[in-house]
Chains A and B, each alone.
Chain A
C-alpha cells in the first residue's frame, strides 16, 4: 500500500501579502481557513483535522476550534522545523485521511513576520545552551549567516560566482513581476541590480534573501473519494514525504560530509519519486523553497533536475522559465511573492494544477512543491488526475 493519490487538496485560501497586515495572525488564519473551506464547498463543522507548522506560528488548533466552533476535531498535530514543515503538514493530512483518522483536514500558516517579529534579525543575549552554544557566541546568529556558510562552499567547490546566485533572484522576481498578488509585482530586477545590492553575509547580498511578509495561507485535504464528490477542482496528492540527513542540525549541519548537498532534500526526493512512481523528467512545474538563492540551486540538484554542481546551467539555458522544461517558482517564490514559509508554494502548486495561476504553465499534469532546506524537510507531488 502507498499513499499515492489517496488524498487531494480541494480548497485553498490566501490573504494579501504585505509589510503590514493591520490585523492579527488569528484573524488572518480564520480568513484563509474559511476561504479554503468555501473553495472546497465545505463548512467549518465538516473539519475534523488540523495540522499546523511548528515554530513561529502562534495560532493553534484550539484557536481555530474556539473561533470557528469546530464540533468534532479529532486529529491535530504540529510538524516541526519551521519552513521544512510546510509540505509536511500536507503529508500528515494525507496520512490522517488515508488511515481513516480524519475526513477533512485543514493546514495553514499565518504570520506577521514583517510588522511584528522579523526572523532576519536577532537580539539573543545572555546564556545559550544546546548546540547553539558553539555558534551564537561567535556571531553566527541569523538564517542568512547560517546559509552563507553553505553557499560559500558550494561556489568554491564548483567554481561558480555570485552571478549564478543572482540568476535565481532575477528569475523569481521576473515571475513575481507579473503576479498581482506578489509583494514585488511590477518590480523585476536585473542581474546588475543584484550584483550591486548590499552584502548581507558574503556571498549573500540583499537580493539573495527572502522578503519578510505578513500574510496567511491555508489548504484543505480530503480523501480522493471525497474529493470526487466536492465542487472544488482537486489537486491529487501523488506523493507526500518528509526527509532527514545525517548529523542534522537546524540550519547549521556543518559536521556532515558535504556542505554542497542537501541530504534532507535528497531523501525527500527519493521518497516522493518512489511513492508517485515518477521521476524529475515527469515534473511539469517546480515550486521550490527559496529563502535564499543558493539553496534553490542545491535543491534543483537534490530533486534530480541537474547533476551535482550543474544547476546554474539550467538557469543559463532558460530551462526554468515559464516556457522551459521545468518552470520554477511561477508565482515568484519567497524572493518575489512573499515569505509564508513555503505555504505560498503549496497554494501556487494547486493553482498550476487547476489551471488558474496568473503565470499559468501550459498543460500542467504534475507539480513538485518542496519545503525548507538546511533543515529536516518535506515535499509533495501534485497531480491533475489520480493515476
Chain B
C-alpha cells in the first residue's frame, strides 16, 4: 500500500502548506511517516474519532486510544482543481481534492492519486497511500482500491 517514494523536497524548497503537529496530533503524523493511517478510538463509546483530539466529541471521555485504521474507504465528495489558487499547487494541476469516508466512520480531507480526474466519482472505493512530501512530513493520500 506504500507508494513509490521519490526523493522528497527539502522543507525550505517545498512551496505548499505543511502541518504543524501538536502533542495531540503527533501520533497521526508519526503514523503517516511510518506508512500507517492512525486514528483515535474512544475506549468508552468505541467510536472512531478524527481529527485528533484530547476528548471524545461523542461521549466526552478522555480515554482515547490510537488505532491503525484499515486505510479503506469511499469518496464522500470531491472537487477537481484545474486552476491553482495557491502558487504551490500550480505544478499539480489538475488535482483531485476529496473527502474520504473511512470504513471506520470518520472522514478525511485528502487527494485522490493515480486516477484521472474524470474517473473519480462519489462512492468510489479507495485505499490509503503515503506520500513523503519533505524529509519530515508524510501526507495520507488515497488511490482507487485494487481489491474488488
Contacts and interface: CB of A to CB of B under 8 A. Distances in A.
A251 to B, nearest CB: 12
A127 interface: yes
Interface string A91-132: 000000000000000000000000000001111111111011
B66 interface: no
Interface in A213-257: 247, 252, 254-255
A255 B117 CA distance: 23
A142 B86 contact: yes
> Which label, helix, strand, loop or mixed, suits the secondary structure of the B interface?
mixed
B27 to A, nearest CB: 13
Nearest to B137: A137
A145 B139 CA distance: 19
B51 A134 contact: yes
Contacts of A23: none
A204 B77 CA distance: 14
Given A139-B92, A145-B79, A133 B21 contact: yes
A201 B21 contact: no
Contacts of B25: 133
Contacts of B21: 133
B97 A149 contact: yes
Contacts of B3: none
Contact of B95 (A120, A139, A142, A198): A139
Nearest to A132: B17
Contacts of A198: 82-83
Nearest to A198: B83
A163 B56 CA distance: 41
A153 interface: yes
A150 interface: yes
Given A129-B22, A137-B18, A139-B86, A153 B122 contact: yes
B76 A247 contact: no
A136 to B, nearest CB: 4
Interface string A30-41: 000000000000
B87 interface: yes
A158 interface: no
B20 interface: yes
Contacts, number: 123
Contact of B97 (A128, A139, A199, A203): A139
Interface string B95-137: 1010100000011111100000100001000000000010001
A134 B19 contact: yes
A28 interface: no
Contacts of B139: 137-138
A156 interface: yes
Given A128-B20, A141-B17, A135 B109 contact: yes
Given A125-B16, A145-B85, A138 B92 contact: no
B81 interface: yes
B69 interface: no
A129 B20 contact: yes
A142 B85 contact: yes
A151 B122 CA distance: 12
Contact of A156 (B16, B109, B122): B122
Nearest to A154: B77
A134 B108 contact: yes
A176 interface: no
A156 B86 contact: no
B14 to A, nearest CB: 9
A121 B86 contact: yes
A374 to B, nearest CB: 13
B88 A125 contact: yes
Chain A to chain B: the 7 pairs with minimum beta-carbon distance, closest first: A127-B20, A148-B79, A133-B19, A136-B17, A153-B77, A129-B20, A202-B80
